[in-house]
């Protein structure tokens, strides 16, 4: 997915995620985060260890942490 930051009322956050090493990892993390209510776009980049999330409102970091954990990785915090 591609992050869209020009949508009025959207919030973009970049998170550091440790352990991603391939496209499959990116897909797992993106899939879990995209299930959080209000998320409109997720873009994971394993080579940078970053996940960019666009949502309708600021997300609870614990919800993001739980989604990343469910995918089998660790949220290191916001970038």
Structural domains of the chain in order of their starting residue, each with its CATH number:
18-78 (3.30.70.100)
Dump pLDDT digits (tens) for 45-55.
Answer: 999 999 999 99
Dump pLDDT digits (tens) for 11-55.
Answer: 999 999 999 999 999 999 999 999 999 999 999 999 999 999 999
Q: How far is CA 2 from CA 12, 21, 30, 51, 54, in A?
A: 12, 19, 11, 11, 9
What lies within 8 Å, CB to CB, of 39 at 6+ separation is: 33, 53, 54, 55, 59
């Amino acid at each position: 997915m591609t992050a869209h930051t020009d949508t009025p009322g959207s919030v973009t956050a970049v998170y550091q995620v440790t352990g991603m090493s391939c496209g499959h990892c990116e897909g797992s993390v993106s899939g879990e985060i995209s299930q959080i209510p209000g998320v409109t776009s997720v873009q994971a980049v394993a080579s940078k260890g970053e996940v960019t999330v666009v949502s309708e409102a600021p997300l609870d970091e614990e919800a993001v942490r739980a989604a990343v954990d469910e995918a089998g990785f660790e949220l290191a915090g916001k970038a």
